[in-house]
Amino acid sequence: MRGQIQDIPAGQVFDFLHSRPEGLTPAEIAERLREVGPNAIETRRRHQWLGSLARQFTNFFTILLYIAASLCFVADRVQPGESMDILGLALLGVAVLNGLFGFIQEYRAERAMEELRKLLPQRVTAQRAGREETVAAEQLVPGDVLKIAEGDRIPADGRLIDCQDLVVNNAPLTGEARPVRLTAAPRGPHDNEAVNLLLAGCTVQQGRGTAVVYATGHRTEFGKIATLSQDVRRMISPLEREVASMVRILTAIAVITGIVFFVYGVFAGISPWTNMVFMIGIIVALVPEGLLPTLTLSLAMGSLRMARRNVLVKGLNAVEALGAVHVICTDKTGTLTLNQMTVTAVADPVAGADLAGAARAEALALALIASDVRRSRNSRTASGFSGDPLDVAVAEAHAKSGGAFDSVTDSIVHRFSFNVRKRRSAGIARRDGKVLFCVKGAWESLRPLIARIETPGESAPVAADETRLAQAEKIVHRLAAEGCRVLALAWIELETAPDAAAAQEFFERGLILKGFLGAEDPLRPEAPAAVARCHRAGIRVTLVTGDHPRTAEAIARKAGIVPAGADAAVLTGDDLDRLRKTELAERLGRGVHVFARTTPEQKWKIVSALHDLDQVVAMTGDGVNDAPALRAADVGIAMGRSGTDVAREAAQVILLDDNFASIVQGIEEGRAIFGNIRKFTDYVLASNGPEIVPYLVYMVLPVPLALTIIQILSIDLGTDIVPAIGLGQEKPDPDTMEQPPRDRRQRLLNWPLVIHSYLFLGVIEAGFAMFLFFWVLVQGGWSYGADLPAQDSLYRAATGITLSSIILMQIGNLYGRRSRFGTGIDRDAFRNPLIVAGIAIEIAFSWAVLYFPPVSDVLGTGPVEPAVYAAAWLGPLLIYGLDYGRKRIARTWHRAGAAPAFVMER
């Protein structure tokens, strides 16, 4: 339909759409609403939060906790008095808290999204049943006669039947910031754009018009792309894959170990129910119940830090996913640039030098005469000017040069609006007793009309011969190569003021070339430094835009995306159509940095080709056309200020300030979070060693159990939590953005970390804790093979010092995890309030389990001699010292490039 409706005259549009100039009747509107539905892109699902909540409580780890809790309740019914019911409640508590943390974060992000949903207008003006009415945008139907004016957002696709100086910004759909001047005339044979169509989601920058709606809701161009984006499956984030893998590995280790010792217990003659209790104990000891809540809390707190840096994350996994990015595919307008057209050059037509002083002010005054700009209270610009963005830029540049806006505009006696086919606009003004005709436009359209050229330093213009015109054309090409939109400026003095009905062509004879205006959307000042920082971090930045290839290349060079002196290797949308995905991946591998004139499907194709190269891809965008690629990317990044609702829905991350530099800050935060996750994972898993060893010793030797299940939980869900969260809040290392991005295949839980936490730190903690356990037993008169009741004071004292020593050793472990090769003891360690609080809790709890009855009674522990407790304080020094010695060896071997896994931490 779109192609047909563009080609017919305005007078036939009503018949084509079964409408009339006075508008539809209420009965017709009701019938069409029933047939095509409301003018809405997305019908919000009611009770959507229930689905989000359900997802948080049905992941693999949570289901595992449910099963473990159920077994605990069964064991408690069969064999009461073993505190299995408390264990079951604790496990359920972990599952509930973890689910709530994740749900609250998603809910917070959704609430923030609600504040950003302001794309489509709520009320619009339509002609219905012979009179103008203000109606809800959702109630528009095909055939409605729509009235639009400056500042309006277009609510549906429509064919213009009348307009006055109408200019729209189609960037939300096309990705190109260049304003489009519309007409009600049928499309000409050389018109490639929708020059007579209003497109939903775009904005009116100037003028007013009347159109007949021909598409609403999902049938609009806006809606088609929105539907396309919903069909794209979201990639699983790197962290989701890693956490799922880690949970499965740890669960498999725990379950297999538990089953092996259950079978051993059966052959050893231990009763089945006692055996099952100990199997659950082994599983609980090996599964770090506090790890997932710690991970969730760390990501949630990381999302808050990102929000303070103007980066809003919609899901917790996106916090870390930014840190894993290998490639950033960035849009140009508003992300790398300020999305604000500015006159950056006023060049003379001979040497191309930038005019200054009075000469610059005079040239800008002539350009202002040929512009259609005015002051407006409804202007969205800081200067208060309203009109075509390029004309506004001329007015602002004129004001900066010291010119008086009202003095120039009051002198204008006639304007000739911009003509799409002629590609120029003009005006006539009386200035200093003279009548001047001024024209500005594309050099190609003005060159045949130029008779003379102003030359700096000369009193009179010189003849425009081919040599001088060729020289002028070189200036045009130079400015265009710098990323400017170039306008030629010419004038001529008229003998008398013309009749208002005179044609523009009547005056366009023997024009004098004044110079050239170079206008551009300036690069954000911080963009080059941010791009350079990405390059140092091994992150590739690729520009993907709907703009002209020359403009795209110029911006890419200014931003540093294309290295100085290097070939830009620009690929256009036509090139992308010809290339197969394998060929595109090959070109990307060879270093293509710039894509211009791209469509939504092509952006999606770029992301898919990068995935074939095993790259983690971040895609930025603000328009509806960006939504499919945003959803296909590993990390979709939408703009908060300029972004469309569809783009923000498709993205995982929203830039609240639309600034590329904020992405880089988010990447640094994401990298720090992944490093911190590994730190606290190592920290938490280390305590699993001394938790499992007592059960293994108990199963194979005739000795008392050194640590009970409730005591294990006091570590996993008690003293370990706050220090682990503190590690999750550590600042990025100074060299975080000097390192290459981690390999996509790098595991969160790898062999070096497992060996270090279980077989190095865990063995040290287990050995020292068991030494103290048997020291207290032997000192109290226990003999090998003797059984001790759970309430025996000697047994309670021995288990108490075991628990206390493990808690204290985690203090030394905590400082060790702060740095991979360093001491970990510095000023920042004492500036992290969670680490300070965590150490205070561990110290207090290590004393309370021995000497504070309300705690010791619950945990089944008892007091020991002060000398024994003092000896337990050697534990933190022991584990810290041995680990620091390992670090020194690891650092030496790491520098030599020959560090074996067993000495590395991660």
Quick one: three-class SS letters along 121-186?
CCEEEEEECCEEEEEEHHHCCCCCEEEEECCCECCCEEEEEEEEEEEEECHHHHCCCCCEECCCCC
Please indicate, yes or no, if residue 222 is contained in any of the structural domains.
yes
Residue 121 has pLDDT above 70, yes or no: no
Q: What is the CATH number of the domain that holds 601?
A: 3.40.50.1000
Q: Of 187, 142, 186, 148, nearest to 168 (Cα)?
A: 148
What is the spatial distance between Cα 586 and Cα 845, in angstroms, rounded to a whole number? 59
**Model confidence band, residue 456 (pLDDT cutoffs 50, 70, 90):** confident
Residue 644 has pLDDT above 50, yes or no: yes
**Can you tell me whether residue 402 is helix, strand or coil?**
coil
Structure confidence by residue, pLDDT tens digits, 215-243: 998 888 878 776 665 555 555 666 667 77
Q: What share of the chain is helix, strand, coil (3-state, %, to 5)?
A: 55, 15, 30
At 162, list the tokens.
Answer: 């009348």
For position 545, what pLDDT does the model report? 82
Residue 42 has pLDDT above 80, yes or no: no
Q: What is the CATH number of the domain that holds 200?
A: 2.70.150.10
Q: Are 427 and 495 in the same domain?
A: yes
For position 364, what pLDDT does the model report? 92
Please indicate, yes or no, if residue 559 is contained in any of the structural domains.
yes
What is the spatial distance between Cα 222 and Cα 284, in angstroms, rounded to a whole number? 53
At 472, list the tokens.
Answer: 């002028």
Structure confidence by residue, pLDDT tens digits, 674-732: 888 889 999 999 998 899 899 889 888 899 999 988 898 899 888 998 999 999 888 88
Q: Of 428, 433, 411, nearest to 491 (Cα)?
A: 428
Residues contacting 149, CB < 8 A, separation 6+: 204, 207, 208
471 and 456 Cβ atoms separated by less than 8 Å: no
Structure confidence by residue, pLDDT tens digits, 585-619: 999 888 888 998 787 678 888 999 999 998 999 99
Helix axes 60-78, 272-286, angle to 10 degrees: 150
Least confident range from 5-14, 151-160, 620-629: namely: 620-629
Q: What is the CATH number of the domain that holds 423?
A: 3.40.1110.10
Domain encompassing residue 562: 311-338+524-665
Q: Are 324 and 227 in the same domain?
A: no
For position 46, what pLDDT does the model report? 45
Structure confidence by residue, pLDDT tens digits, 821-880: 889 998 888 889 999 999 999 999 999 999 999 999 989 999 999 999 999 999 999 999
Please indicate, yes or no, if residue 648 is contained in any of the structural domains.
yes
Q: What is the CATH number of the domain that holds 699?
A: 1.20.1110.10
Number of folded domains that form the chain: 4
Residue 116 has pLDDT above 50, yes or no: no
Q: Are 333 and 346 in the same domain?
A: no
Please indicate, yes or no, if residue 152 is contained in any of the structural domains.
yes
Q: How far from the centroid of its chain's Cα atoms is residue 284's Cα?
A: 37
Structure confidence by residue, pLDDT tens digits, 730-766: 888 888 888 888 877 777 778 888 889 989 999 999 9
Q: Of 675, 523, 573, 712, nearest to 68 (Cα)?
A: 712
739 and 678 Cβ atoms separated by less than 8 Å: no
For position 424, what pLDDT does the model report? 83
Residue 477 has pLDDT above 60, yes or no: yes
Mean pLDDT of 877-901: 82
Residue 479 pairs with which residues in a beta bridge? none
**Can you tell me whether residue 662 is helix, strand or coil?**
helix
How do strand 327-330 and strand 311-313 relate by DSSP bridges? unpaired
Please indicate, yes or no, if residue 263 is contained in any of the structural domains.
no
Q: Which of 144, 331, 521, 547 is catalytic?
A: 331
Q: Considering 189, 206, 231, which residue would you say is the last residue of a domain? A: 231
How do strand 450-453 and strand 511-520 relate by DSSP bridges? parallel
For position 43, what pLDDT does the model report? 44
Mean pLDDT of 94-122: 60
At 23, list the tokens.
Answer: 């508008």
Q: Are 530 and 598 in the same domain?
A: yes
Place of tokens 């159109």: 211
Q: Are 352 and 494 in the same domain?
A: yes
Q: Are 140 and 152 in the same domain?
A: yes
For position 114, what pLDDT does the model report? 54
Residues contacting 419, CB < 8 A, separation 6+: 425, 504
Q: Of 533, 523, 595, nearest to 559 (Cα)?
A: 523
Q: Considering 176, 210, 231, which residue would you say is the last residue of a domain? A: 231
Q: Kindly state the DSSP code that residue 24 receives in the 8-state scheme.
A: B
Please indicate, yes or no, if residue 284 is contained in any of the structural domains.
no
At 597, list the tokens.
Answer: 């004139």
At 515, list the tokens.
Answer: 């110079």
For position 188, what pLDDT does the model report? 61
86-95, 164-173, 765-774, range with greatest mean pLDDT:
765-774
88 and 70 Cβ atoms separated by less than 8 Å: yes
Q: Are 880 and 775 in the same domain?
A: yes
Please indicate, yes or no, if residue 72 is contained in any of the structural domains.
no
What is the spatial distance between Cα 325 and Cα 317, in angstroms, rounded to a whole number? 13
Residue 207 has pLDDT above 90, yes or no: no
For position 175, what pLDDT does the model report? 59
Q: Are 25 and 143 in the same domain?
A: yes
**Can you tell me whether residue 365 is helix, strand or coil?**
helix
Q: Are 572 and 652 in the same domain?
A: yes
Least confident range from 487-501, 606-620, 891-905: namely: 891-905
Q: How far from the centroid of its chain's Cα atoms is residue 352's Cα?
A: 42
Q: Are 878 and 800 in the same domain?
A: yes
Least confident range from 69-78, 510-519, 808-817: namely: 69-78
Mean pLDDT of 364-390: 77
What is the spatial distance between Cα 124 and Cα 579, in angstroms, rounded to a whole number? 44
Answer with the residue of higher pLDDT: 326 or 388. Answer: 326
Structure confidence by residue, pLDDT tens digits, 816-837: 999 988 899 988 888 899 999 9
For position 120, what pLDDT does the model report? 41
Q: Are 136 and 28 in the same domain?
A: yes
Count of beta carbons in the 10 Å neighbourhood of residue 383: 15
What is the spatial distance between Cα 132 and Cα 121, in angstroms, rounded to a whole number? 17
For position 897, what pLDDT does the model report? 66
Q: Are 763 and 642 in the same domain?
A: no
Residues contacting 356, CB < 8 A, separation 6+: none
Please indicate, yes or no, if residue 99 is contained in any of the structural domains.
no
Residue 810 has pLDDT above 80, yes or no: yes
Report the chain's terminal Cα–Cα distance, integer Å: 60
Q: Considering 635, 665, 695, which residue would you say is the last residue of a domain? A: 665
Q: Based on the residue annotation, tell me whether 622 is a catalytic residue of this protein.
A: no
